Amino acid sequence: MPKKERMRFVSAEQVAQLAGVSRSAVSRTFTPGASVAPATREKVLRAAEELGYHVNDLARGVLANQSRLVGIVATRPEVGFRAHLAAALAKLLIRRGSIPILVNTGETEEELLAAQKMLIGHRAEAIIILSGSPPASFLELAQRNGQPLVVIGRSEPDADHVRAGNSEASHKAATALYESGRRRLAVIGSNTGTPAIVERESAFLSTAEALGASVVVARGDDSDYDGGVTAGRALFSNKIKADAVFCANDQIAFGLMDVVRLETQLRVPEDVAVIGFDDVPESAWLSYRLTTFRQDPLVMAQRAVELMERRLDNPDAPAGSERVIPELVIRQSFRP
């Protein structure tokens, strides 16, 4: 069996030999702001292009005790809105010259700290958390190492954060359903107890009760399609005559709608109006045509990157906060 050859990247020394210049001239050519004669630069760039040479950014990061790595930490990043948010973050980070690293982790303190230590060990310039509740030790470790930390979806007193206008959207949902004549309302969340889910549940509940509507709460184990199915079955198997349901996210709404249409004699929206939250692409599918509150992943990602850049420029600045108010997108599952 032939011996497997080790991968060999083109070195700066090879470029120097082909260009007929010194190794330091190659280094200066690829160092922004460094002084190098135009003729020398031209020879180096021509040789680099011929050989396919690229600067070893990893080695530079080690020498500078930092890197352009940015950690994106998320639980189940492939699900729902988080998938689109992670994709938007990666796109913006690459555009600014950063290298995004997606860390798929859990929500326990041990898992989060393990992810953080790995990113600190690789000298990541910042961490962006899409989900989970970072413990105090997580924040303290980031601060001790001077590592910017941005949290999306929850607020932390000592961290920059981006949040959706959960309470505003939930208040609008309850009011719109009530004003359309719906009086038996329900809200579906999950047992995960994430800050966003809790805020959406409680704001809808308090608004509905203040308006004088009857309202019940149902929850699945997780904030996903299966959670919507579980909560929907619990809701309608108990013969609760809910005529409108606000779901804490679109994945939950899809599960609920399938239960209503396939396992009951009820119709959406004639018998049961449904409103979701996030406006993931599937919301516009003909099978659902879900009325929902739109979170724009690109806007959320942009705000997070801006906070990160602000922190990199001014490490001692007070914690920054951004709040993005979702827009109601009207489709067929509920029309005010």
Q: pLDDT tens digit string along 308-324?
A: 999 988 988 898 999 99
Average pLDDT, the chain: 85
For residues 229 and 254, what is the distance between their CA atoms, to the nearest angstrom? 8
Strand partners, 218: 188
pLDDT at 240 over 60: yes
Q: Do the Cβ atoms of 72 and 101 come closer than 8 Å? A: yes
Question: Given this model, what pLDDT does residue 66 score?
Answer: 55
Question: Given this model, what pLDDT does residue 181 score?
Answer: 94
Question: Given this model, what pLDDT does residue 54 score?
Answer: 67
Per residue, what are the HEC states of the chain? Answer: CCCCCCCCCCCHHHHHHHHCCCHHHHHHHCCCCCCCCHHHHHHHHHHHHHHCCCCCHHHHHHHHCCCCEEEEEECCCCCHHHHHHHHHHHHHHHHCCCEEEEEECCCCHHHHHHHHHHHHHCCCCEEEECCCCCCHHHHHHHHHCCCCEEEECCCCCCCEEEEECHHHHHHHHHHHHHHCCCCEEEEEEECCCCHHHHHHHHHHHHHHHHHCCEEEEEEECCCCHHHHHHHHHHHHHCCCCCCEEEECCHHHHHHHHHHHHHHCCCCCCCCCEEEEEECCHHHHCCCCCCEEEECCHHHHHHHHHHHHHHHHHCCCCCCCEEEECCEEECCCCCCC
What is the reported pTM?
0.79
Q: How confident is the model at residue 1 (pLDDT cuts 50, 70, 90)?
A: very low
Question: Given this model, what pLDDT does residue 104 score?
Answer: 79
Question: Given this model, what pLDDT does residue 121 score?
Answer: 74
Q: How confident is the model at residue 304 (pLDDT cuts 50, 70, 90)?
A: very high
Given the structure tokens 């004549």, which residue do they identify?
181
Average pLDDT of span 131-138: 63
